[in-house]
Amino acid sequence: MKKRHLLAPGPTPVFPDALLAMARPILYHRGPEYEVLLGRVREGLRYLFQTKNEVLLFTSSGTGGMEGAVINTLSPGDRALVIRSGKFGERWGEICEAYGLQPQYIDVEWGRAVEPDTVAAALAADPAIKAVFATHTESSTGVLHDIEAIARIVGKTPAILVVDAIMSLGVADLPMDAWGVDIVVGGSQKGLMIPPGLAFCAVSEKAWAMVRQSRLPKFYFNFQAERKSLEKNQNTFTPAVSLVMALHESLAAIRTEGLTALFARHDRLARATRAGVRALGLELFADPPTPALTAVAAPQGIEAGAIVKTLRNVHGITISGGQAQLKGKIFRLAHLGYADESDVVLCLAALERTLSDLGYPVKLGEGVRAAQEVLAQAG
Amino acid sequence: MKKRHLLAPGPTPVFPDALLAMARPILYHRGPEYEVLLGRVREGLRYLFQTKNEVLLFTSSGTGGMEGAVINTLSPGDRALVIRSGKFGERWGEICEAYGLQPQYIDVEWGRAVEPDTVAAALAADPAIKAVFATHTESSTGVLHDIEAIARIVGKTPAILVVDAIMSLGVADLPMDAWGVDIVVGGSQKGLMIPPGLAFCAVSEKAWAMVRQSRLPKFYFNFQAERKSLEKNQNTFTPAVSLVMALHESLAAIRTEGLTALFARHDRLARATRAGVRALGLELFADPPTPALTAVAAPQGIEAGAIVKTLRNVHGITISGGQAQLKGKIFRLAHLGYADESDVVLCLAALERTLSDLGYPVKLGEGVRAAQEVLAQAG
């Protein structure tokens, strides 16, 4: 017998109460029970997004929410600024281009965060820019961007700031209203501890003003229609009811834990993981790193794919390798959502064994020891 | 204690094996186990759609699949023909118009099916029409359209036939390849007996030729990208993994029952329901009726909404009322998916009690008796 552990950056393991909720008889999405449930979910999402705004809900992967954020705010010919520092920053650009927009790009070395000053310079150079598309945690590199600083810059202009927060919603702090972020896109399968299939878009008043003017075509991902429906505790189109039932459970759990404790837990797991990885002599890939996952450079002479495969086939642990230009070069250990100290410990222990199997010189126990020292600290 | 019964036209009750599948630990969508599962799901979908074509899979409600069928086949300025005989026929038109197309409409009285000859006449009058958008079962009226006859007509022209089969996929026979339908759109929450959240688009070679030329903008619902991913047993974007796990179970159950038995079961439940309704002196609304649901005209002096509410609040049974222009005028009893004789019997029994409560003269037992006589017949 081999236990299986899912430590990839999404989908993350599903919270047991959410699994059970999905096994209950399904609710009718036009009935009174569902309306009560959706009302509570709307409240819970506002708490999670730290906003007074309505958080729109779509049945789709997170990418659908990203597409919605582009097509509901912009019009043909509009200027946009896209920050690209990995595969998901690139996705903002691909969506814009699919709709005939020609965004300006800020290209950042993969593994690094954008310098907020370069955003200020780009906006100053082109005052016609209507929207800045950024990424909170770039999943492909494990970097956390300084959204607070970027929001301060964009907030002084007529442009809106749109942030892909799919990877670290409920993991890294992103107080939307306090920082002045205009659209935050989230997904269900990361910090929310439920399966993929729901995308979220929280939209500020500044962004709604643009939504009312937007002329790019849209139907399924229509922000105005969905807002109108949600205000009646309805969805425009048949929603993924079982996922909304699961979401209701996970939002309740998040509220019980509290955002402060939630962010502290993730920070602690991330610091412990990084300490363990460094103690094994490995190099961290991301600077600055996200609390959602730890990207590690594969050591000289070992293909990252071999580490991923050995962890899965020999130790029952699913992690992720690198994507696109990082394929074979990095591997990514996730520690978010329904995750605690035991996950960090078992992951590092298996990593030690794996590296040893692959011929990398490792002192067994060193990674776990270093992580333990972080975990033993208060807070 | 009151048992709850969901007899609305979707979501339908979830098949127990599918509920249990969703409660299992989630699979990583880039791992080998999921690839094996998706490979089997692709095979199962081909069986269900009766096609050799690839059946594309999107995480969205069925409407997302409908939007995909429009934006992946047409280009700005293209001529299209939309058959409108209810709320879902109207949706085809709304999607086309959202993308700047000005389709030609065939408007059919709600409760009736389109005359195939009018489709032939419209195509003859405008040979530039590139796509005909039709509905198999119009959920809002309970009508089943003669897709076989329409396909024969459209098949003689360069136009493609796109059919919304969401309501009766796996309920009413629709042999895509044999009839020559070009795109069939399905959803997960009807005959497939799993929760909403997955849309399906089966696409013929004739349609693929148009897809390659299509210039309407698209990103999330991109047919070519999804086909390429599926051929590697992958999805382009993170799929609703738990729903795919559930789908795997329901497709296996459908294959075990077999399509012939599946269609016969639904036909039998529908005939029994109609016999029961008529025996109570009520009038059927749809002609010809679908085997998926029975639309019933509310009797003189009784609001359909009162019947829906009494069934729900007093008898624990969720059915649907009328939508749009039919609000208050009809109610709809569903008998599809995870449904059998017992559902028909308990529904009619509760309907008798409800009508009696609301002052409609009813001989208790008459509806059930008439249904029983149909159910007692062989086959």
Per run of 10 residues, the mean pLDDT along chain A (length 379 residues) is: 94 96 96 97 98 98 98 98 98 98 98 98 98 98 98 98 98 98 98 98 98 98 98 98 98 98 98 98 98 97 97 97 96 98 98 97 97 90
Chain B residue with minimal CA distance to A92? B219
Would you call B237 and A25 a contact, using CB atoms and an 8 Å cutoff? Answer: no
CB atoms within 10 A of CB A304: 22
- Asked whether residue A48 is domain-assigned, the answer is yes
Which of the residues B2, B19, B24, B26 would you substitute to probe the A interface, choosing the one with the greatest number of A C-beta atoms within 10 Å?
Answer: B26
CATH of the domain at B306: 3.90.1150.10
- Asked whether residue B1 is domain-assigned, the answer is no
Domain range spanning residue B334? 259-376
Would you call B242 and A26 a contact, using CB atoms and an 8 Å cutoff? Answer: no
- What local confidence, expressed as pLDDT, does residue A1 receive? 86
- Asked whether residue A7 is domain-assigned, the answer is no
Same domain, B282 and B191: no
Would you call A26 and B11 a contact, using CB atoms and an 8 Å cutoff? Answer: yes
Same domain, B110 and B126: yes
- What local confidence, expressed as pLDDT, does residue A2 receive? 87
Would you call B63 and A239 a contact, using CB atoms and an 8 Å cutoff? Answer: no
Would you call B13 and A26 a contact, using CB atoms and an 8 Å cutoff? Answer: yes
Q: How many domains, in total, are found in chain B?
A: 2
Same domain, B26 and B141: yes
Query: What radius of gyration, in Å, describes the C-alpha atoms of chain B?
Result: 21
CB pairs under 8 A between A and B: 170
Same domain, A249 and A268: no
Whether the per-residue pLDDT at B378 is higher than 80: the answer is no
- Asked whether residue B137 is domain-assigned, the answer is yes
Q: H/E/C letters for each residue in chain B?
A: CCCCEECCCCCCCCCHHHHHHHCCCCCCCCCHHHHHHHHHHHHHHHHHHCCCCCEEEEECCHHHHHHHHHHCCCCCCCEEEEEECCHHHHHHHHHHHHCCCCCEEEECCCCECCCHHHHHHHHHHCCCEEEEEEECEECCCCEECCHHHHHHHHCCCCCEEEEECCCCCCCCCCCHHHHCCCEEEEECCCCCCCCCCEEEEEECHHHHHHHHHCCCCCCCCCHHHHHHHHCCCCCCCCCCHHHHHHHHHHHHHHHHHCHHHHHHHHHHHHHHHHHHHHHCCCEECCECECCCEEEEECCCCCCHHHHHHHHHHHHCEECEECCHHHCCCEEEEECCCCCCHHHHHHHHHHHHHHHHHCCCCCCCCHHHHHHHHHHHCCC
CATH of the domain at B206: 3.40.640.10
Question: Å from B117 to nearest chain A CA?
Answer: 31
Would you call A217 and B221 a contact, using CB atoms and an 8 Å cutoff? Answer: no
- What local confidence, expressed as pLDDT, does residue A379 receive? 61
Question: Where a domain ends, among B257, B285, B312?
Answer: B257
Question: Where a domain ends, among B239, B257, B275?
Answer: B257
- Nearest CB to A23: which of B23, B216, B320? B23
Same domain, B246 and B109: yes
- Asked if the interface predicted TM-score (ipTM) of this complex is over 0.95, the answer is yes
Same domain, B252 and B290: no
Question: Å from B87 to nearest chain A CA?
Answer: 13
Same domain, B145 and B269: no
- What local confidence, expressed as pLDDT, does residue B379 receive? 61
- Asked whether residue B9 is domain-assigned, the answer is no
Same domain, B212 and B71: yes
Chain A residue with minimal CA distance to B235? A61
Chain B residue with minimal CA distance to A93? B219
- Asked whether residue B239 is domain-assigned, the answer is yes
pLDDT (mean) for B58-73: 98
Same domain, A88 and A227: yes
B159: which residues sit within 8 A by CB, 6+ positions away? B81, B123, B129, B130, B131, B132
Same domain, A242 and A325: no
Residues of chain B positioned with their CB less than 8 A from the CB of A61: 59, 220, 237-240
- The 10s digit of each residue's pLDDT in B137-178 is 999 999 999 999 999 999 999 999 999 999 999 999 999 999
Same domain, A209 and A246: yes
Question: Where a domain ends, among A239, A257, A275?
Answer: A257
- Nearest CB to B26: which of A6, A219, A312? A6
Chain A residue with minimal CA distance to B3? A25
Same domain, A219 and A272: no
- Asked whether residue A11 is domain-assigned, the answer is no
Residues of chain B positioned with their CB less than 8 A from the CB of A338: none
- What local confidence, expressed as pLDDT, does residue B2 receive? 87
Would you call A63 and B219 a contact, using CB atoms and an 8 Å cutoff? Answer: yes
Would you call B59 and A62 a contact, using CB atoms and an 8 Å cutoff? Answer: no
- Asked whether residue A36 is domain-assigned, the answer is yes
